[in-house]
């Protein structure tokens, strides 16, 4: 599934490169915390690349979304929005007193997928795409989203809302818009739990240029106030232990390595808020979030202990014993701020990744530290002299503000995790082989199937495979024009029938006990047009170019992005999303810090053990969409030369399913066409070999 680190995912950013530019400066001395040089004084703040995506767009029949000009004309006649009106009434309540309120997509952990009870932006705006930010003032309501969701937002927003197409020429950022529409002295309210500290700080600085004030509303979320009884209950699903044969490394070893990092940086504890980092570090899995095997929790790891902040009703006896063996104590989920205050009162030097830890936690810590320093003066206990966030030398504890070391350690898969990913991809491919055989036969027998029917049938085949748990995201099943909506979501009663005379795009994935899959195939059951063939062929050429790439170590993903786009660029075409995202091992289908994207701010190098997707595409609005996606494992390549004495890296395919050749544009044979045939035929061979292990012969026309 395609995922984009876009301005709309973290729309408050003033920096167009949403990336982890500070990552190359990390230095981890222990095996699972990889070697990068840490230098807090040059710690650059940036937006965390999301381990990206959630709810996708729906459509009614064939897409008939209107052009932007007509869309704007229709919005001139505004209809009252009862939810927005109710929200505005709260602005003047005692203790609030604001002129605008910002509703982001995230939960308190900056998650991409979130539980239904936290889908506040979707509730207030009606827009269900995963990326976007809503801003409501006393007389206006606007929503920002990126290019993946322009068509969806046009369809879902009422006339009360202004659609801001983020990244388009002339479209202001949220802060620029607020500076323009609010009078000097205006107050902008946010829920500080829903913003990373970096995002909140950047917003505060941006709006202060026009004398606007950012107001943290700690005690209530205004959307929750109007949602009331109809708001879904928080998830309460049991946590499970992730078996060592899949995890590959025990909790004690992971915690020991992390504690060595704490000592090395002068920190006495680290606050971990990213849900997949908590799950990975403790070898636990949950089901609180759709499609992601994680649970809502915070974790504080100290040099001599650890505390897990979680709803105790989710903790089974097996999990309790597992945590006790690792000397991890339980605390109530909502007591995290109390613990932060307690640690600060003791002069604790907390390690906080301000790109992901929410503003409520960071500001609570800083405020409590101020009290500590005030009470102790210059005689306060000095744990370590370091530079604080403003690069001013501090005589007492001031916090360690650096990227979490767990993000990279988690991305570098160990042998057991890689084995699990390979095994689950084989089972997944077997399910896909059965599914595509079924679908082709049904289509050729003129059976009418909707996009939902197709997605449900694929789930049926996958669910029969050993270790299947869930889909890894909502299946994108798009026929014809619906395939052009990058994150389309078909719904019963409004979806299209699969048309055998149009391109059909199917992007899907699964969560298994031992790994996570993500695959996209675009097929045609009849005869594609010359235009469709040419576009498909150029997307396939880009896919092959990246698949076959060999590159020196320390190469960041953005360097490889052009490999996948070059063939499209030659005829003036492109696509509005990144080419590849990281993938977790039996964890989130999107993870960082690595990515392959045209957004050059992410300088994280691709390293052995990382898993990335390879998914170039092309989309013609209201006509068709094409995307081809495999997952790849970064590995060392044995090159005949080692210029500069460095290693060279390349990719090994994890995805074991072939690509349809009927859509390839047949011209007089050229070298690049031979490359295409080589890849397709090698895939065919490997499929026949691997599927024999599972008892499925390859009798597919779609090869």
Question: CB under 8 Å to 182, separation ≥6 — which residues?
Answer: 99, 100, 137, 188, 210, 212
With a cut of 80, say whether residue 693 has pLDDT above it. Answer: no
| Rounded mean pLDDT, 627-644 | 96
Q: What are 565-587's pLDDT values in tens digits?
A: 999 999 999 998 999 999 999 99
With a cut of 60, say whether residue 21 has pLDDT above it. Answer: no
Q: Do domains 82-230 and 412-672 have the same CATH topology?
A: no
> Look-up: residue for tokens 């494992």?
633
Q: Which two tokens stand for residue 354?
A: 């301000």
Radius of gyration of the chain (CA): 25
CATH for 240-374+398-403? Answer: 3.40.350.10
Q: What are 189-218's pLDDT values in tens digits?
A: 999 999 999 999 999 999 999 999 999 999
Distance CA(59)–CA(505), nearest Å, equals 14
What's the confidence (pLDDT) of residue 395? 60
With a cut of 90, say whether residue 389 has pLDDT above it. Answer: no
Distance CA(467)–CA(347), nearest Å, equals 46
**Beta-bridge partners for 350:** 269
Average per-residue pLDDT for the chain: 84
| Contact indicator for 311, 284 with CB cutoff of 8 Å | no
Distance CA(213)–CA(434), nearest Å, equals 58
Question: CB under 8 Å to 572, separation ≥6 — which residues?
Answer: none
| Rounded mean pLDDT, 269-297 | 97
What's the confidence (pLDDT) of residue 226? 95
Q: How far is CA 73 from CA 77, 606, 619, in A?
A: 8, 47, 25
Domain-wise residue ranges, the chain:
82-230, 240-374+398-403, 412-672
Q: What are 354-376's pLDDT values in tens digits?
A: 999 999 999 999 999 999 888 87
Q: What are 478-512's pLDDT values in tens digits?
A: 999 999 988 888 889 889 999 999 999 999 999 99
What's the confidence (pLDDT) of residue 289? 94
What's the confidence (pLDDT) of residue 681? 45
DSSP letter string over 394-426? -SS---EE---HHHHHHHS--HHHHHHHHHHHH
What's the confidence (pLDDT) of residue 2? 64
What's the confidence (pLDDT) of residue 149? 84
What's the confidence (pLDDT) of residue 10? 42
With a cut of 90, say whether residue 604 has pLDDT above it. Answer: yes
Confidence of residue 79 (pLDDT cuts 50, 70, 90): low
The CATH class of 82-230 is alpha beta
Assign a CATH topology to domain 412-672.
Creatine Amidinohydrolase (3.90.230)
User: Is cis: bond before 593, omega within 30 of 0?
Assistant: yes
Q: What are 40-55's pLDDT values in tens digits?
A: 433 333 333 333 333 3
What's the confidence (pLDDT) of residue 600? 82
Closest CA to 152 of 501, 465, 491: 491
| Rounded mean pLDDT, 153-171 | 92
With a cut of 80, say whether residue 127 has pLDDT above it. Answer: yes
Distance CA(644)–CA(598), nearest Å, equals 27
What's the confidence (pLDDT) of residue 80? 65
Q: What proportion of the chain, given as a percentage, has pLDDT over 90? A: 73
Q: What proportion of the chain, given as a percentage, has pLDDT over 70? A: 80
Closest CA to 279 of 51, 462, 9: 51
What's the confidence (pLDDT) of residue 547? 97
What's the confidence (pLDDT) of residue 703? 29
With a cut of 80, say whether residue 74 has pLDDT above it. Answer: no
Compute CA 334 distance to the chain's CA centroid, rounded to the nearest angstrom.
25
Name the phi and psi angles at 218, rounded to 5.
Answer: -70, -35
DSSP letter string over 635-664? EEE--S--GGG--EEEEEE-------STTS
| Contact indicator for 123, 209 with CB cutoff of 8 Å | no
| Rounded mean pLDDT, 112-119 | 94
Q: Which residue has the higher pLDDT, 641 or 380?
A: 641
What's the confidence (pLDDT) of residue 599? 83
């Amino acid at each position: 599934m395609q995922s984009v680190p876009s301005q709309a995912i973290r729309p408050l950013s003033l920096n167009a490169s949403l990336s982890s530019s500070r990552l190359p400066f990390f230095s981890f001395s222990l095996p699972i915390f990889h070697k990068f040089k840490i230098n807090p004084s040059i710690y650059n703040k940036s937006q965390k690349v999301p381990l990206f995506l959630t709810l996708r767009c729906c459509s009614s029949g064939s897409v008939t979304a209107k052009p932007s000009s007509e869309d704007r004309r229709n919005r001139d006649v505004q209809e009252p929005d009862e939810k927005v009106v109710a929200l505005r009434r709260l602005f003047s309540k005692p203790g609030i007193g604001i002129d605008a309120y910002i509703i982001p997509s995230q939960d308190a952990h900056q998650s991409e997928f979130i539980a239904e009870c936290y889908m506040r932006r979707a509730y207030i705006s009606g827009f269900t795409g995963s990326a976007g930010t809503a801003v409501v003032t006393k007389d206006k309501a606007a929503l920002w989203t990126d290019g993946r969701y322009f068509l969806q937002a046009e369809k879902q927003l009422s006339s009360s809302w202004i659609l801001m197409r983020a990244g388009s020429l002339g479209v202001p950022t949220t802060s620029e818009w607020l500076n323009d529409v609010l009078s000097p002295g205006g107050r902008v309210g946010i829920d500080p739990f829903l913003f990373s500290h970096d995002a909140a700080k950047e917003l505060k600085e941006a709006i202060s240029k026009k004398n606007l004030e950012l107001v943290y509303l700690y005690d209530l979320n205004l959307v929750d106030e109007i949602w009331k009884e109809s708001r879904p209950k928080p998830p309460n699903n049991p946590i499970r232990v992730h078996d060592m044969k899949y995890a590959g490394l025990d909790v004690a070893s992971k915690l020991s390595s992390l504690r060595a990092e704490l000592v090395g940086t002068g920190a006495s504890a680290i606050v971990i808020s990213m849900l997949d980092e908590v799950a990975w570090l403790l070898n636990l899995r949950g089901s609180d979030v759709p499609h992601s095997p994680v649970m809502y929790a915070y974790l504080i790891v100290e040099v001599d202990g650890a505390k897990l902040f979680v709803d105790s009703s989710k903790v089974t006896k097996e999990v309790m014993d597992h945590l006790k063996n690792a000397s991890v104590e339980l605390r109530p989920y909502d007591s995290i701020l109390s613990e932060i205050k307690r640690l600060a009162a003791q002069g604790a030097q907390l390690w906080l990744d301000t790109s992901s830890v929410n503003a409520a936690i960071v500001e609570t810590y800083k405020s409590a530290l101020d009290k500590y320093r005030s009470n102790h003066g210059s005689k306060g206990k000095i744990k370590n002299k370091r530079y604080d966030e403003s690069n001013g030398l501090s005589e007492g504890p001031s916090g360690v503000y650096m990227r979490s070391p767990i993000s990279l350690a988690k991305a570098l898969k160990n042998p057991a995790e890689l084995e699990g990913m390979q095994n689950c991809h084989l089972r997944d491919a077997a399910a896909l082989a059965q599914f595509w055989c079924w679908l082709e036969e049904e289509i050729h027998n003129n059976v009418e199937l909707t996009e939902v029917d197709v997605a449900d049938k694929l789930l049926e085949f996958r669910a029969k495979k050993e270790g299947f748990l869930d889909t890894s995201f909502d299946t994108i099943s798009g026929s014809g024009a619906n395939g052009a909506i990058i994150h389309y979501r078909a719904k019963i009663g409004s979806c299209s029938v699969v048309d055998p005379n149009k391109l059909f795009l199917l992007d899907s994935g699964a969560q298994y006990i031992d790994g996570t899959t993500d695959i996209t195939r675009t097929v045609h059951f009849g005869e594609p047009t010359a235009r469709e063939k040419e576009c498909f062929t150029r997307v396939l050429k880009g896919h092959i170019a990246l698949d076959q790439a060999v590159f020196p170590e320390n190469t960041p993903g953005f360097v490889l992005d052009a490999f996948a786009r070059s063939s499209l660029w030659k005829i003036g075409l492109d696509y509005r999303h990144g080419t590849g995202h990281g993938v977790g091992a039996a964890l989130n289908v999107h993870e960082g810090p690595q990515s392959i994207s045209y957004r050059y701010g992410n300088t994280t190098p691709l390293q052995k053990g990382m898993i990335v997707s390879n998914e170039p595409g092309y989309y013609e609005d209201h006509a068709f969409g094409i995307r081809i996606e495999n997952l790849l494992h970064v590995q060392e390549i044995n090159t005949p030369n080692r210029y500069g004495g460095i290693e060279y890296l390349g990719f090994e395919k994890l995805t074991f399913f072939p690509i349809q050749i009927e859509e390839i544009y047949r011209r007089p044979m050229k070298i690049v066409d031979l490359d295409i045939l080589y890849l397709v035929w090698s895939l065919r061979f490997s499929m026949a070999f691997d599927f024999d292990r599972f008892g499925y012969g390859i009798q597919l026309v779609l090869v």
